[in-house]
Amino acid sequence: MRVIFATSEAVPYAKTGGLGDVCGTLPSYLKKLGIDVSVILPMYKGISGEKFMDLELGTEKAKVMIFKDREAYFIENSEFFHRDGLYGTPEGDYPDNCERFVFFSKSVVEFLKSNNFDIIHCHDWQTALIPLYVKKYNLNCKTVFTIHNLGYQGRFPKEKFSILGLEWDYFTPEGIEFYGDINLLKAGIIYSDTITTVSPTYAKEIQTPEFGFGLEGVLKKYSYKLYGILNGIDYNIWDPGNDSFLYKPYDNFTDKQINKLELTSECLLDSKRPLIGMVSRIAGQKGFDLLVKVLDDIIALNYNFILLGFGEEHYSIKLKKFAESYPGRISVNLKFDETLAHRIYAGSDFFLMPSRYEPCGLGQMISLKYGTIPIVYKTGGLADTVIQFNPQNFSGNGFVFDVYSAESLVEVLKFAYVIYCQTEIFKMLSENCMKYDFSWNRSAAEYKNIYEKLIRNP
In a shared domain, residues 214 and 250: no
Least confident of 41-50, 196-205, 259-268: 41-50
* Percent above pLDDT 70 for the chain: 98
Q: Rounded to an integer, what distance in angstroms lies between the CA atom of residue 8 and that of residue 86?
A: 8
Q: Rounded to an integer, what distance in angstroms lies between the CA atom of residue 242 and that of residue 382?
A: 26
In a shared domain, residues 172 and 316: no
In a shared domain, residues 25 and 66: yes
In a shared domain, residues 35 and 17: yes
In a shared domain, residues 181 and 288: no
For residue 145, pLDDT beyond 60: yes
For residue 345, pLDDT beyond 60: yes
In a shared domain, residues 357 and 248: yes
**Stretch 253-274: mean pLDDT:** 97
pLDDT at 61: 64
pLDDT at 48: 86
pLDDT at 404: 97
- The helix, strand and coil proportions of the chain, stated in percent and rounded to the nearest 5, come to 40, 20, 35
In a shared domain, residues 174 and 195: yes
Tell me the pLDDT of the chain averaged across its residues.
Answer: 95
In a shared domain, residues 300 and 414: yes
**Stretch 56-62: mean pLDDT:** 70
Beta strand 2-6 with 119-123 is parallel
Q: Rounded to an integer, what distance in angstroms lies between the CA atom of residue 426 and that of residue 419?
A: 6
pLDDT at 90: 76
Amino acid at 297: D
Q: State the residue range of the domain holding 428.
A: 240-433
In a shared domain, residues 78 and 207: yes
At 52, the pLDDT band (50, 70, 90 cuts) reads: confident
pLDDT at 173: 96
pLDDT at 394: 94
**pLDDT tens digits for range 156-185:** 999 999 999 999 999 999 999 999 999 999
Number of domains in the chain: 2
- Residue 336, sorted as left (phi over 0), alpha (psi -120 to 50) or beta, turns out to be beta
CA distances from 435 to 33, 152, 236 (A): 24, 34, 15
For residue 77, pLDDT beyond 70: yes
* Percent above pLDDT 90 for the chain: 89
In a shared domain, residues 253 and 204: no
In a shared domain, residues 206 and 351: no
For residue 361, pLDDT beyond 60: yes
For residue 68, pLDDT beyond 60: no
At 50, the pLDDT band (50, 70, 90 cuts) reads: confident
What is the sign of the dihedral through the CA atoms of 363, 365, 368 and 369? negative
In a shared domain, residues 40 and 162: yes
- Residue 158, sorted as left (phi over 0), alpha (psi -120 to 50) or beta, turns out to be alpha
In CATH, what number is assigned to the domain containing residue 201?
Answer: 3.40.50.2000
**Stretch 367-387: mean pLDDT:** 98
